[in-house]
Structure 1
Amino acid sequence: MTVWAGQFLSLLGSGLSGFALGVYVYRLTGSATTLGVIFALGLLPSILAAPFAGSLVDRWGTRRALLVSNAGNMAITLVLAVLLYTHTFQVWHVFPIVAVSSLVAALEVPAFGALAPQLVAKEQLGRVNGLRMFAVAASQVLAPVTAGFLLLAIQIQGIILVDFVSFLVAILTLLAVPIPAPPPTDEAATTGELRLWADFTEGWRYIAGRPGLLGLLVFLASVNFSAGFIDLLITPLVLSFASPGSLGTVLTLGGIGMVVTSVAVSVRGGPRRRVRGILGFSLVMAAATVLGAARPDVVLVAVAAFIFMGALGVAISTNQTIWQTKVEQRLMGRAISIVNMVSQVPQLVAYTVAGLAVDRVFAPLVGRDRVRSPALATLVGNGPGRGIALLMMVMGVLIALSVAVAAANPRLRGLEDELPDAVPETVAPPVPTTATAPR
C-alpha cells in the first residue's frame, strides 16, 4: 500500500499538469494536428526504447528502474517549472518535454507491471491491478476539477511544482519498502547494446512461442489503434460544441466510471474467465464510442465516457493480470515492455494520421456548412466537429470487429486453460538484507 500511495500521488500530480498543459496548447493553437504531434511524441521514444527498457528492468530490478524513472520525471518537471517561472515557455517546448517523458515511461511501465508479482500472491494480482487502475482513475477524476481551482489560485507554475513534489514522495515510498533484488544471471555483468537486444529477442520468442499470448497481443494492438483515435479526438470533439469546463466534466465522469469498476476489481479480483472479460468489456467500449459520437450533446458524451472508461479499467487490469500470471518472473519486464511497444505502435499511427483524417476526409463529409453525405449526417449530425464524431464512430465499429475476430481464435479463447501459470501460489516476504536494500 505504501508504494501504491506514492504512485497515486505521482499520477495525480502528472494529471494536474497534463490537463492544464493540454487545454492551454489546444486553446492557443486550435489544431487537432498539433495535438496529434504531441500525442505521437508521447509514444515514439517509449516505443524505440522498449527493446532495451524491459531488459534493464529485469537486470536492475523493479526498485532501481522505478527510482530512475521517477528521478527523470522530476528533472523534466523542474525544467518546465523554470521555463514557466521565467516566462520563456513556448508551445514548441512541449515537444521535447513530452518526448523525454515518454523515454522515462519506457522504464516505469514495465517496472511497475513486474513489481506486483514480487510483492503479492498470485490470487491477489487481480485486486492489486484493480488498485493500480483505481489510482489512475482517481487521478483522472481529481485532476480536471482540482486543476481548474489551482490554475486560479497558484497558476500553472504552481501546478508544475505540485507535480515535482509528487514525484519526490513517490521516490521516498520506494525507498521505504523492501523489494526483492533481481535473480543473478550468468551474464549479469554484460549490459551492452548487443546483450540487451538478445534479452529483448528472448522475451519476444517467449511470447511468439505461445499462440494464446500472441493472439492476445495482436488483439491489444488492434484495439489500441482505434483507442488512439478516440484518445486524441475526445478533446477537440467536446470543445467543438462546448466549453473547456464541459470538457473537464466529461473527463471527470470518465474517470469516475473507471474508479467504480476499479474498486469492483480490487474487491472481487476481476472476471473469473479473464479472456472473455477482456473481449466482453472491449465490446462495451465499442458501443460507448458509437453512442458518444451520435450527437453534439455534453450529457450524451459524458455518459458514453463513463461507460467507456469503466469498461476500459476492467479490460486493462484483467489484461495485466494475464501477463503477470502466464509469464516467468525473470522475463516479466521484457514481456510487459514488448506488450506496451506492440500496443503503442498502432496508437502512434493513429495519433499521426487522426488530425489529417479529420481535416481532409471526414470534416468535408459532415463537418462543414455544405454536407456532402446526407446519409452520414443523419448518423452524427453536421456542422463543426461532426467530422471528428464520424471518425470516432468508425473507430467504435472497428473495435467491435476486432472483438469478433479475436473471439474466433481458439488459441486465444483457450489461453487460460492451455498455458499453465508461471508464478507461484504465494510470495514469501522479502528478507531485509543487502540483497533487498535500495540500489
Structure 2
Amino acid sequence: MKERVAVPGMRPLLIVWLGQMVSLIGSGITGFALGVWVYQQTGSATQFALIAVSSVLPSVLLSPVAGALVDRWNHRRTMILSSIGAALNASMLASLLAVGWLDIWHIYVVAAIASTLTAFQWPAYIAATTLLVPKQHLGRAGGMLQMGQAIAQLAAPAIGSLLLEFIQLQGVVLFELAAYFFAITALLSVRFPITKPSPSGKTEKSSLLREVAYGWSYLTSQSGLLGLLIFFAASNFLSGIVGILFGPLVLSFSSSVVLGVLLSIAGAGTLIGSVVMSIWGGPQRRMHAVFTAMLLCGVCILVTGSGTYIPMLGAAIFLFFFCSSVLNICTQVIFQKKVEPSVQGRIFALRGTITSASLPFAYLIAGPLADFVFEPLMLPDGPLAETLGQFIGVGRGRGIGLMFMIVGALTIMVTAIAYQYPRLRLVEDELPDAIPDDLAPSLSE
C-alpha cells in the first residue's frame, strides 16, 4: 500500500460531508414517507411509533460492538460498505413496492436494517473526521456535521411530503437510492487517513469482546471524560422529556399550524447554531461553553412551561435548540481531542449508546407522568389550582407546563452540581490532547 502525507485543510471533509448530508436527506425523506404510508394504511399511532423504535433500537444495541469493529476496520471502507448496504436495503424496498408485495412488517425490517448500518456508519464518520482535518478545525468540523443533520431534519419532511404527492412512495425510494450513490461517489473521491493503533489498543486485539470491554475501561480510566458523558446523558434525558411533550403542550392551547411553525423555529435554531460553530469553531475553553449552554437550556425550558404566549415560546425554543447545538458540538470536539484516534470508534459508539438509551427511558416516563400525575394537579379543581395555578394557569396542558418548569429547574441544578466536579470542569486542562498539533496523517489508497 502506498502512503503519502496529507495536506491539512477542510476540502476532504467538505466532500465527504456533502455526500453524507445528501444521504441523510434521502434517508430522512424515505423515513418520513414510510411513516405517512404506514399511518394511512393502518390509522394506528402504535404501528407508526414502532417504525421509530425499529429505527433506533438496533443501533443502540449494536453500537458498542460496532464501535470496536470500526476501530479494527478502515473507516472509509466501512462508510462505503455501509452506504452500499443502505442502497441494497432501499433496492429491496423498491422491489417490494414494484411487485405490490410491501406489507407493514417489511417496513420494520427495512428500518431495523438501516439502523444496524447506521451503528457502523456514524462512529466511522466521526472517527475519520478527527484525522481528516487539522486539530484546530475540529470545532468547525463538528459544526458542519451538526449542520448536515439540521439541514436534513428541516428538509426531509418538506421535500418528502412534496415527493410523496407527485411521484408516490416508489419514486421517493428511488430518490433515496440516488442519494446513496452520490454519497458513495463522494467517499470514493477522498482518501482517508490511516489510523495507527495505540500501544494499549494493540494489547486488546486478541478478541472482539475484549476490545469492547477496553472501550469502557478506557473511558472509566478518564474520570473527566466519564463525567462529561454522564453530564451529556443527563442533558439528553431531560431534553427527551421536553421533546416528547412539546407537541402536546402546544396543542393544548393552540393549533397544529402553530406547532409546525414552532418546530420550524426549533430547526432553524439548530441550523443557525451549527452554521455559527462551523464558521467560528467555538471558544478555546469549550467546557465553559458546555456549562453556559446547558444553563441557558434550563432557563429556556422553564420559560417554555411558564406560559402560553406564542412569541415567547418561539424565542425560548429557538434559543434552546441553538444552545443544544453548541453543547453537542463542543462535547464532541472535547472527546475527539482527548481520545486516542485508534479507539475513537469504540468511544463514540459507547457514547452514542449511553446517551441514546436515555431517550427511550425519558419517553416512557414522560407520558404517564403528564397524564396521571401533573395534568390532574393543574385541573381547575386540582390540588394546585389555587396556588401554582394563579401563576401559570389551570386547565389542559398546564400540568405539562409545570413539568417543563420542573425539568428546567432540574437542568439548572444538574449544571450547577456538575460544575462543582473539578475533573469535569478542568477536563481540558488535566487531560492531554491525543492529537498532536503537527499531525500529518498518511492516507490509504
- What TM-score does the superposition give when structure 2 sets the normalisation length? 0.85
| SS of match in other structure, 2:183 | helix
Cα distance change, pair 394–29 in 1 and its aligned pair in 2 (3 A): farther
- Displacement of 1:68 after TM fit? 3.0
Q: 2:178 aligns with which of 147, 153, 165?
A: 165
Task: Give the corresponding residue for 2:10.
Answer: none
Q: Describe the superposition over 1:231-282 as per-residue Cα deviations: whole angstroms up to 9, x where unpaired.
A: 3333444445555544432222212112222222112211221111111111
- Displacement of 1:77 after TM fit? 3.5
User: Is residue 252 from structure 1 mapped to residue 264 from structure 2 by the alignment?
Assistant: yes
Q: Which amino acid aligns with 2:135?
A: K
Task: Give the corresponding residue for 2:283.
Answer: 271
Cα distance change, pair 17–344 in 1 and its aligned pair in 2 (3 A): same
| SS of match in other structure, 2:435 | coil
Q: 1:420 aligns with which of 420, 427, 432?
A: 432
Q: Which amino acid aligns with 2:56?
A: L
User: Is residue 66 from structure 1 mapped to residue 79 from structure 2 by the alignment?
Assistant: yes
Task: Give the corresponding residue for 1:5.
Answer: 18
Are the counterparts in 2 of residues 224 and 343 from structure 1 also a CA contact under 8 Å? Answer: yes
Cα distance change, pair 266–425 in 1 and its aligned pair in 2 (3 A): same
1:82-93 matches, within 5 Å, as none
Task: Give the corresponding residue for 1:47.
Answer: 60
Kindly report the root-mean-square deviation, in angstroms, between the aligned alpha carbons of the 2 structures.
3.3
User: Is residue 127 from structure 1 mapped to residue 145 from structure 2 by the alignment?
Assistant: no
Task: Give the corresponding residue for 1:401.
Answer: 413
For residues 225 and 120 of structure 1, what CA distance do their matches in structure 2 show? 31
Task: Give the corresponding residue for 1:286.
Answer: 298
Cα distance change, pair 25–126 in 1 and its aligned pair in 2 (3 A): same
Q: 1:339 aligns with which of 351, 372, 383?
A: 351
1:176-187 matches, within 5 Å, as 176-183=189-196
- What TM-score does the superposition give when structure 1 sets the normalisation length? 0.86
Cα distance change, pair 238–88 in 1 and its aligned pair in 2 (3 A): farther
Task: Give the corresponding residue for 1:136.
Answer: 149
Cα distance change, pair 427–293 in 1 and its aligned pair in 2 (3 A): same
| SS of match in other structure, 1:43 | helix
Cα distance change, pair 406–34 in 1 and its aligned pair in 2 (3 A): farther
Q: 1:373 aligns with which of 384, 392, 397?
A: 384
Q: Which amino acid aligns with 2:172?
A: I
User: Is residue 207 from structure 1 mapped to residue 219 from structure 2 by the alignment?
Assistant: yes
Q: Describe the superposition over 1:101-129 as per-residue Cα deviations: whole angstroms up to 9, x where unpaired.
A: 33222212211110112211111111111
For residues 372 and 26 of structure 1, what CA distance do their matches in structure 2 show? 38
Cα distance change, pair 116–87 in 1 and its aligned pair in 2 (3 A): same
- More deviation in 409-418 or 380-389? 380-389
Cα distance change, pair 123–135 in 1 and its aligned pair in 2 (3 A): same
Q: 2:373 aligns with which of 325, 337, 361?
A: 361
- More deviation in 405-414 or 223-232? 223-232
Cα distance change, pair 161–331 in 1 and its aligned pair in 2 (3 A): same
Q: Which amino acid aligns with 1:208?
A: T
- Displacement of 1:325 after TM fit? 0.5
Structure 2's unaligned 5+ residue stretches are: 1-13
Q: 1:152 aligns with which of 165, 168, 177?
A: 165
Are the counterparts in 1 of residues 78 and 120 from structure 2 also a CA contact under 8 Å? Answer: yes
Cα distance change, pair 201–151 in 1 and its aligned pair in 2 (3 A): same
Task: Give the corresponding residue for 2:336.
Answer: 324
For residues 39 and 308 of structure 2, what CA distance do their matches in structure 1 show? 19
For residues 378 and 21 of structure 1, what CA distance do their matches in structure 2 show? 45
Are the counterparts in 2 of residues 36 and 354 from structure 1 also a CA contact under 8 Å? Answer: no
For residues 189 and 293 of structure 1, what CA distance do their matches in structure 2 show? 51
- More deviation in 48-57 or 19-28? 19-28
- More deviation in 100-109 or 51-60? 100-109
Q: How many residues align?
A: 430
Q: 2:70 aligns with which of 57, 60, 66?
A: 57
